[in-house]
Chains A and B, each alone.
With several copies, the nearest count.
Chain A
């Protein structure tokens, strides 16, 4: 078991992969370290939303992921 980090939309190009598995537990500073510098720079932008275990986080810095959780990094959307 581990924490799965999903890179949505353009973030997957920056991460070089659609997802990455890391050891849990994982908090916000741990996530910043785990995603590499290119994605970390994007996470400075408040417009990148974060979901954990299927729930959107109102406060990203309160992230607390355990083994088995999925973290999704959701950059600004362009639907319709």
Chain B
């Protein structure tokens, strides 16, 4: 079961995970990761843009790859777009599998790809205005682990 979504409004990771667990009753384990807007220094807001013809189809394709690669029973990949406040969740990934290591590796894999191979662009508002966030070298190194 694949549940990939682009969300224009805030969401509760706890509720989403509870729902995902009910949707995958036969799995031995569920691993997850939720990433939030870091309440860092003077960041007032985050703005996430995307490209509709590619972004959600790309997330669905990524989810299908993870399902096959890690023998999952279900995967959830939700990503916010629009304006977010510090502390708000940006991304939630969860994987249900028979075996623990598969579920954890699938979350790791999916997060690495959402970070540096999915069609999102972030900018943040600081005291002196909006700034685009450049891709980090570390993110590309993380991604290369799966080649």
Contacts and interface: CB of A to CB of B under 8 A. Distances in A.
Interface of A: 6, 8-10, 13, 51, 54, 56, 70, 72, 74-80
Given A6-B51, A8-B51, A54-B53, A77 B132 contact: no
Nearest to B116: A77
Interface size bucket, B side? 20 to 34
Contact of A77 (B35, B121, B123): B121
Given A8-B49, A10-B132, A78 B121 contact: yes
A54 B52 CA distance: 9
Interface of B: 35, 48-49, 51, 53-54, 79, 90-91, 100, 111, 114-123, 132-136, 139
A13 B132 contact: yes
Contact of B121 (A6, A10, A56): A10
Contacts of B122: 78-79
A35 B122 CA distance: 22
Give the dominant DSSP class at B's interface: mixed
Nearest to B121: A9
Q: Which secondary structure dominates chain A's binding surface?
A: loop
19 contacts: A6-B51, A8-B49, A8-B51, A9-B132, A10-B132, A70-B53, A72-B51, A72-B54, A74-B119, A76-B134, A76-B135, A77-B116, A77-B135, A78-B120, A78-B132, A79-B79, A79-B114, A80-B90, A80-B115
A51 B54 CA distance: 9
Given A8-B49, A13-B132, A79 B54 contact: no
Contacts of A78: 116, 120-122, 132-136, 139
Given A9-B121, A9-B132, A10-B121, A79 B53 contact: no
A53 to B, nearest CB: 9
A75 to B, nearest CB: 7
Given A8-B49, A9-B49, A13-B132, A77 B118 contact: yes
A19 B91 CA distance: 28
